[in-house]
Chain A
Amino acid sequence: MSGESDTAPEAPKRGQEWPLWEVFIRGQHGLNHRHVGSLHAPDEEMAIKNARDVYTRRNEGVSIWVVEARHIAASSPSQKGPLYDPSESKVYRHPTFFDIPDDVGAM
């Protein structure tokens, strides 16, 4: 970026399109934030406002997170085999070998 204006956008944008944001909403019951979808917005404040309008119209949420999609690092689908297959043969990793007393109730 040497010699260029420091106001240059951080990432290349397609045409005039607003960046894509991923939206996470926490429901009423004190649960974790859950991914609910995505939307376009010019900045993070508008992204939260848009999320409020697009995803919380029926009282779904008490807290909204937005993150620009380009900031999410994702595992690659082509790595699926090496990443996940080895655990298939390792049944001992699942805690299914314990007898749980009835008194304990739901685990």
Chain B
Amino acid sequence: MAQVDQAQLLEFLCRMGDNTLVLGHRVSEWCGHAPVLEEDIALANIALDLIGQTQMWLGLAAEVEGKGRNADDLAMLRDVWDFRNVLLVEQPNGDFGQTILRQFLFDSWHLAMLTGLTTSTNTEIAAIAAKSVKEVQYHVERSAETVIALGDGTAESHDRMQAALDLLWPYVGEMFVPDAVDDAMAAAGVAPDLGALRARFDAEVSTVLRAATLTPPEGGFAHKGGKTGFQHSEHLGHMLTQMQWLQRAYPGAEW
């Protein structure tokens, strides 16, 4: 087993925590706006699950960093270039179908990733994964079923879902293309090999998309730059102004 570089471990933990933080905030934007009450509550629950997972990931990240910061500091006081989430999760909600499809694509990756992390050589990571994976099994069950219902629904719902898939599919690649950090985590047994997760993802996602009568666009083009922090889309900055304004305007405010 290779030694784990602490800076790379921190980077990896921020990726996990920023994914759940940014998606959690995005999903929470539906609160009070979802098409029906039942979906509103379900989405709020999913958002809360993701924020809860964020507390664990960023809490551990702050410990590893060892600079006296905590999870709240990392979430609320970092600027956009410090975020390490994949581009998929920062994409705007769009219509309900687009939100659900984004959720389904992320959930499918997330479940495969967390399942791999439950056997991490890092026991703290394994513990967080074990707790999170139960929540995410439910997330993907729900999002997959809704993708099928809408994709294989009316002509309008099908067209909206296909449009969402055309828009979001190019964001899938970034979740699976490993960089130096991912390679180091895999070599140390901290995290699963991302490339190996892709086969499971493709098998499960294609089954659902077929049932939903949806077709992913041709070609393997993949947007990237989110998880490395190299270049986020313009949407993340706008989102952070909403998410962070209270701590920015009233530093240290508590309730």
Contact = CB atoms under 8 A, between A and B. Distances in A.
B145 A53 contact: no
A80 interface: no
Interface stretch (B12-20, B34-42, B112-120, B233-241): B34-42
B45 interface: yes
Contact of B41 (A42, A45, A54): A54
A41 interface: yes
A49 B144 CA distance: 12
A18 B36 contact: yes
B38 A39 contact: yes
B186 interface: no
A83 interface: no
A23 B234 CA distance: 44
B142 interface: yes
A46 interface: yes
B45 A57 contact: yes
Contacts of A45: 145
Nearest to A42: B149
B180 to A, nearest CB: 40
Interface string B31-75: 000001110011001000000000000000000000000000000
A41 B38 contact: yes
A18 B37 CA distance: 12
Contacts of B45: 53, 57
Nearest to B45: A53
Given A49-B42, A54-B41, A40 B36 contact: yes
A54 B38 contact: yes
A63 interface: no
A50 B45 CA distance: 11
A49 B41 contact: no
Contacts of A49: 42, 141-142, 145
A50 B38 contact: yes
Contacts of A18: 36
Interface in B126-173: 138, 141-142, 145, 149
Nearest to A53: B42
A40 B38 contact: yes
A47 to B, nearest CB: 9
B222 to A, nearest CB: 32
Interface in B66-108: none
A56 to B, nearest CB: 10
B211 to A, nearest CB: 14
Contacts of B149: 42, 46
Interface of B: 36-38, 41-42, 45, 138, 141-142, 145, 149
14 contacts: A39-B37, A39-B38, A40-B36, A41-B38, A42-B149, A49-B42, A49-B141, A49-B142, A50-B38, A50-B42, A52-B138, A53-B42, A53-B45, A54-B41
List the 9 closest pairs (A to B, CB-CB), nearest first: A50-B38, A53-B42, A53-B41, A53-B45, A54-B41, A39-B38, A49-B142, A54-B38, A40-B38
Interface of A: 18, 39-42, 45-46, 49-50, 52-54, 57
Given A41-B38, A53-B41, A53-B42, 18 more contacts: A18-B36, A39-B37, A40-B37, A40-B38, A42-B149, A45-B145, A46-B145, A46-B149, A49-B42, A49-B145, A50-B38, A52-B138, A53-B38, A53-B45, A54-B37, A54-B38, A54-B41, A57-B41
